Structure 1
């Protein structure tokens, strides 16, 4: 995911024919949001995504555990893998696209809040944004007719977050989205908020959904490689 994100940012917001033709930051963010949304949907629908559940986001892994459909012992390994993948994806983007990736305005696709934004405001908006995403994803997964649309829903919601929040919080709503770029670039300011806020938002949204829709099960056991009773699926 992070190789794709860094690549999209490099060619849309870095020196390129696209950035020359579309110099307005909000239009650039709209393009980035649309491209990242399609990337996420594709990754979730891909064979590796289907095997692993296609979380690609520590907050989603945590939410699936809180929904009771993902084993708690797998949450930490998933988060570690997601954060390692984040850093590796950025490093591969640097190797493929050269020094342009490390220089402004790309800077490894690291995010920073807009001028005047405090850490508290950043934390609140990122938590609320992730909470909305988790609530809607959980709601869709409770409905057999809506569940197949979840990959496209995730892409749409993340794309919208990038387009709408790009000039304020950066529109991360994913700890892994910011971890690799921040660590590799050394832009560690506010990293704690980018890491913790989506996790808090996910837990709160899962709690609210559980209280509002207590009679429906979330249909995700097959996505994490197990049957409803927890036994492994046959490959």
Structure 2
């Protein structure tokens, strides 16, 4: 299966939502729109829950990010199950596209267009949030929805946690790629894991686990703290998840091939 519920055998030849043999830009355009919606909603959550002047402000950061994590989980499930999400696969994250490609569940020729679409969508969604909610998003407390590490957390520490975060997501994807018959709960499992990452690691490393989620706020706010770590660590996590996937699959293939006398 693919991230949005499309079977691996369908995706291996062409990305979902595309005419077989056509350029993958149609699916990439959908990814751009879906990622823009995601980021606008994330920026909106940050604006209302983390702004001290908001009537919905939650002073306890851990509780606030727990609420954000729960809302993002619901949002992701909705986007994955939406008709556009089913059409493109609803990756919403360049590292997801790379992970699926490394697991041979997504064509290599679609990775760059999808990643470009997702990154542009992240920029567009963040810019739309700034346009709608105004200068309040420029405050130091909000920084246009930027995911930020805890004070004193080094860039290498952020890199390690962000890589581990996405490795967890990649392992979840690997399970569903290896067991396409169990794909029905996939959107809910993905939403739950991403929500937990935000809730548990948000106060520590920022809990982004998505280059498209961080690039937009960084570009709009002009803040580049540990940006290299946020942009690169998820890809290491994708590679680690794919490595475990292949080791698991190779053992599975060997066990199936072995027939006792």
TM-score for both structures, normalised by structure 1: 0.87
Would you say how many aligned residue pairs link Structure 1 and Structure 2? 214
- Superposed, which structure 2 residues align to 1:52-131 within 5 Å? 52-131=88-167
Could you say if the C-alpha distance between residues 74 and 144 of structure 1 is closer, same or farther in structure 2, counting changes exceeding 3 Å?
closer
Corresponding residue of 1:8: 45
Question: Post-superposition, which runs of at least 4 consecutive aligned residues in structure 1 deviate over 3 A?
Answer: none
Corresponding residue of 1:18: 56
Instruction: Give deviations 1:80-125, integer Å, cap 9, x for gaps.
Output: 1111110100111111112212223211101221112111111111
Corresponding residue of 1:221: none
Q: Counterparts of 2:177 and 2:97 in 1: how far apart (Å)?
A: 14
Q: Max radius of gyration: which structure?
A: 2
Matched, 1:163 2:199: yes
Corresponding residue of 1:44: 80
Q: Counterparts of 1:122 and 1:27 in 2: how far apart (Å)?
A: 21
Unpaired runs of 5+ residues, structure 1, are 217-235
Q: Counterparts of 1:145 and 1:69 in 2: how far apart (Å)?
A: 15
- Superposed, which structure 2 residues align to 1:155-234 within 5 Å? 155-214=191-250, 215=252
Q: CA deviation at 1:143?
A: 2.1
Q: Root-mean-square deviation (CA), in Å?
A: 1.3
Q: Counterparts of 1:189 and 1:166 in 2: how far apart (Å)?
A: 15
Q: Counterparts of 1:129 and 1:146 in 2: how far apart (Å)?
A: 23
Matched, 1:138 2:211: no
Q: Counterparts of 1:61 and 1:145 in 2: how far apart (Å)?
A: 21
CA contact 2:95–2:211 (8 Å) conserved in 1? yes
Corresponding residue of 1:33: 69
More displaced, 54-63 or 207-216?
Answer: 207-216
CA contact 1:7–1:93 (8 Å) conserved in 2? yes
Q: Counterparts of 2:173 and 2:189 in 1: how far apart (Å)?
A: 7
Matched, 1:148 2:184: yes
CA contact 2:50–2:142 (8 Å) conserved in 1? yes
Q: Counterparts of 1:131 and 1:207 in 2: how far apart (Å)?
A: 10
CA contact 2:77–2:191 (8 Å) conserved in 1? yes
Unpaired runs of 5+ residues, structure 2, are 1-37, 254-261
More displaced, 74-83 or 99-108?
Answer: 99-108
